[in-house]
Amino acid sequence: MSAAHLDPARRHDVVMFFDVTDGNPNGDPDGGNQPRTDDETGQGLVTDVAIKRKIRDTVALMRGDDPRYGIFVEAGHALNTRIEEGLAAAPGRADQAQQWLCEHYFDIRMFGAVLSTGAKGGAGQVRGPLQVGFARSIDPILPADHAITRVTQTRQEDIDKGERTEMGSKWTVPYGLYRAHAFYSAPRAAKTGVTSDDLTALWRAIAMMFDHDRSATRGEMKLCGLWIFSHPDALGVAPAASLTKRIQVSRTNPDKPARQHLDYQRTIADTPLPDGVQLTTEVDLWL
């Protein structure tokens, strides 16, 4: 019998923690690429879109040769072209076109997609079973703007004028520990065709997503914790908030700036859990 967190017919509520050191986890294009923050609290934010992008890219690396694990939202590929492929596979039947697209694209199957664009009227909309929220830092962050220089020019005429360097800037967060939640609906998963193999790929992709998304801009990012509360059935036996709050972190020394995840203490209230709920630990760097 498969593990509870791999059962697509059960509801799952997910808690994850990740951190950033000397990097920009999610720049805001409307704010000069500054790290996103809550203006009132100063806490850092990372959008659900950024998190799902990392999952998509990692699944593509893991299962790129498997026709069932295509990625619908992928750089360099027009969405309408892919929608039209589904419509061609099921002429005149938008519901069957949706089914075809779900079978061929992991991210439609898991996250859903808007398929109503295109000259042929599209294929409607798929509401995915996995919904990911914004990640929010535990403490306020203090973004820093660093002036940087480059030893060559962009234009030859600037070199001809005698210029030797160009100035730029780079935003970083010295350190931030972020928390995010995700919620998996089994009834929606039954409609999109999620399998146990899909959940295996999902949890592994989340665990590995920062290791395959390295860049100088993002500094050093890592997943610090991933916990999955699995209900005994599709509907569930407890509100998600009553489960996710069981995992908490707190500063070990509030007077000292945090610079690593071990500057926080992690606690898990795992007993007693509601009847039938199982807790799976996929990643826990506090152990």
Report d(CA 135, CA 12) in Å as an integer.
18
- How many CB atoms sit inside 10 A of residue 48's CB? 15
pLDDT tens digit string along 229-258?
999 999 999 999 999 999 999 999 999 999
Residue 119: band (very low, low, confident or very high) from pLDDT cuts 50, 70, 90: low
Structure tokens at 203: 């949890």
pLDDT tens digit string along 15-54?
999 999 999 999 999 988 999 999 999 999 999 999 999 9
- How many CB atoms sit inside 10 A of residue 125's CB? 11
Average pLDDT over residues 144-157: 84
> Quick one: what percent of the chain has pLDDT higher than 90?
78
Average pLDDT over residues 94-105: 93
Structure tokens at 123: 């294929």
**Cis ω before 257 (30° cut-off from 0):** no
Give the pLDDT confidence score for residue 153 in this predicted structure: 78
Structure tokens at 130: 């996995």
> 0.85 exceeded by the pTM?
yes
Report d(CA 285, CA 208) in Å as an integer.
14
- Does the pLDDT value for residue 137 go beyond 90? yes
- Does the pLDDT value for residue 1 go beyond 50? no
- Does the pLDDT value for residue 121 go beyond 80? no
Give the pLDDT confidence score for residue 227 in this predicted structure: 98
- Does the pLDDT value for residue 10 go beyond 90? yes
pLDDT tens digit string along 270-282?
999 999 999 999 9
Q: Which three-class secondary structure string do you get for 8-29?
A: CCCCEEEEEEEEEEEECCCEEH
Report d(CA 115, CA 107) in Å as an integer.
13
Average pLDDT over residues 92-111: 93
- Does the pLDDT value for residue 118 go beyond 80? no
Structure tokens at 134: 């914004």
The answer to whether 230 and 5 are in contact (CB under 8 A) is: yes
- Does the pLDDT value for residue 139 go beyond 60? yes
Nearest to 139 by CA among 187, 102, 174, 104: 174
Residue 160: band (very low, low, confident or very high) from pLDDT cuts 50, 70, 90: confident
- Does the pLDDT value for residue 2 go beyond 80? no
pLDDT tens digit string along 205-229?
999 999 999 998 899 999 999 999 9
Structural domain spans, the chain? 4-66+127-144+170-284
